[in-house]
Amino acid sequence: MTTLNHLINGARVDGEGRTQDLYNPSTGEVSGQVSLASQATVESAIEAAHNAFPAWRNTPPAKRARVMFRFKQLLEENAEKIAHLIGQEHGKISHDAAGELQRGIENVEYACGVPELLKGEYSKNTGPGIDSWSEFQPLGVVAGITPFNFPAMVPLWMYPMAIACGNTFVLKPSERDPTSALYIAELALAAGLPPGVLNVVNGDKEAVDTLLNDPRVQAVSFVGSTPIAEYIYSRASANGKRCQALGGAKNHAIVMPDADMDNVVNSLTGAAFGSSGERCMALSVAVAVGDKAADTLIEKMQAQMQSLKVGVFSDAGNDFGPVITKQHQEKVLGYIDSAEQQGATVVVDGRGVSVPGYENGFYVGGTLIDRVTPEMTCYKEEIFGPVLLVVRADSMEQAMQLIDEHEYGNGTCIYTRDGEAARYFSDNIQVGMVGINVPLPVPVSYHSFGGWKRSLFGDLSAYGPDAVRFYTKRKTITQRWPSAGIREGAQFAFPA
């Protein structure tokens, strides 16, 4: 059985003994093992990054950008293999895995423009013979801790820009599906990154805590659940590190009575059940305004969901695959059970689904639950599975109040033909990413990704312009060259 190891200082490094099984969620079978890094292994990766930083920091931005251009080309040339690796360990259908990778490549493209992005500001003659300018310098060693649901894309949110800005990086991918992240990191080395600039350590809490505690790590980026995000932000901040920690979500879509319901149903189906609902931007709650809209939505969703295909990742004809683990499968099924027990109506039931030939896979069918209320467990907590809840509201104001009062504020959208309603919604809703008839308002690479409330801890969002600021620190220089022969006495007043 193959054991996945670590990538430190440009070479594969074996672990010291602790391992964890890797599963193929489509079959339920163990596919290999991953080595779990000890504190000493993580510290060796940090040391490699620390030693590589001085030379990499002084590498001209244009040369760093050329590495990113070559990296982008290698990602595109190996896209099919990467998508297959994602599917094997995550269960994501091939077309979904390809889409994930493409969004990651777009972040590499943005990093290719780093010479322009790092340009500072210059002001001549701010005083007599005095010039001032600012520049953006790298932090040093930075770290990324990434989730299982986007094993390729989320690491690419982080280290291409961090490295392009002159930092060195230690990545700790999810121990549930680390193979694609490790393979992509090797492509980055093949593109020309010097040893030590990018390192990958596989591990669990021991690896995470080592990154959070080591004083050589200057900043930490994280994407995952809210409880872990809050822990990482608190721990990193207490240790004087810059931190951005993206947490969970409960994304609502308001369905107005004037919405094009056929388009709404098509849109919601993909947004709720794509990637088995294991997306932090998945639409998991539809808030229908008025019983007529709700009844029409339920009727059309029920008909649409009859054709949903759940199955093995390698069959591109399937709409979505399994969830990540047996434990997560049981958790998702538990939310469906609790909704039924607490009075909601399970309209389409994904419990008990079986895929012929893959009966031991971790499958949950598409599930539609009506008459959900805010007091129910399924509404309050993030399910992270192929489950769409329908809440009924009497007005747009009541629907917006539901969204504003929820602890999460990651993404939301409104379906309507009314421009006034859409403008009011986008101006006033207390959520970080908003769609107007767009179910998954994930910003493109040259904007930034981040929610509000308990969906993001930290001041700066992920990727885009915020990433440049997160991975650099501003330095302002004021310079004077007095004219020959001029001497001035001491001045004790504050300079003006």
Give dist(CA 72, CA 90) in Å, integer. 23
Instruction: Enter the pTM of the model.
Output: 0.95
pLDDT at 482: 78
Query: Is the predicted pLDDT of residue 496 greater than 90, yes or no?
Result: no
Contact 272, 283 (CB under 8 A): yes
pLDDT at 129: 85
Give dist(CA 412, CA 421) in Å, integer. 14
pLDDT digits (tens, 9 = 90+) for 181-240: 999 999 999 999 999 999 999 999 999 999 999 999 999 999 999 999 999 999 999 999
Chain centroid to Cα 21, Å, comes to 24
- DSSP of 11-51, one letter per residue? EEE---S-EEEEEETTTTEEEEEEEPPPHHHHHHHHHHHHH
pLDDT digits (tens, 9 = 90+) for 278-322: 999 999 999 999 999 999 999 999 999 999 999 999 999 999 999
Contact 355, 276 (CB under 8 A): no
Pairing of strands 387-393, 408-409: unpaired
**112 has catalytic annotation:** no
362 vs 490: which has the higher pLDDT: 362
Query: Is the predicted pLDDT of residue 128 greater than 90, yes or no?
Result: no
Burial bucket for residue 205 (CB in 10 Å: 0-12, 13-18, 19+): exposed
Dig out the tokens for 97 from the structure: 């895995």
Please name each of the domains of the chain with its CATH number.
3-247+455-477 (3.40.605.10), 251-436 (3.40.309.10)
Catalytic one of 243, 280, 378, 413: 280
DSSP conformational letter for 5: -
Banded pLDDT at 35 (limits 50, 70, 90)? very high
Q: Provide, rounded to the nearest whole percent, the portion of the chain with pLDDT above 70.
A: 100
Contact 13, 203 (CB under 8 A): no
Contact 322, 25 (CB under 8 A): yes
User: Would you tell me how many other CB atoms lie within 10 Å of the CB of residue 449?
Assistant: 27
- Helix or strand (DSSP H, E) at 295: helix 291-305
pLDDT at 363: 97
Chain centroid to Cα 212, Å, comes to 19
pLDDT at 493: 83
Determine the average pLDDT of the residues in 131-154. Answer: 97
Torsional sign, CA 146, 150, 154, 160: positive
Q: Provide, rounded to the nearest whole percent, the portion of the chain with pLDDT above 90.
A: 94
- Which of 54-91 are b and which e, b meaning 16 or more Cβ less than 10 Å from the residue's Cβ? eebbeeebeebbebbebbbebbeebbeebbebbbbbbb
Query: What's phi and psi for 411, nearest 5 deg?
Result: -135, 160
pLDDT at 127: 87
pLDDT at 447: 94
pLDDT digits (tens, 9 = 90+) for 453-478: 999 999 999 999 999 999 999 999 99
Give dist(CA 320, CA 312) in Å, integer. 8
Give dist(CA 383, CA 9) in Å, integer. 39
Banded pLDDT at 489 (limits 50, 70, 90)? confident
pLDDT at 38: 95
Banded pLDDT at 258 (limits 50, 70, 90)? very high
pLDDT digits (tens, 9 = 90+) for 392-425: 999 999 999 999 999 999 999 999 999 999 999 9
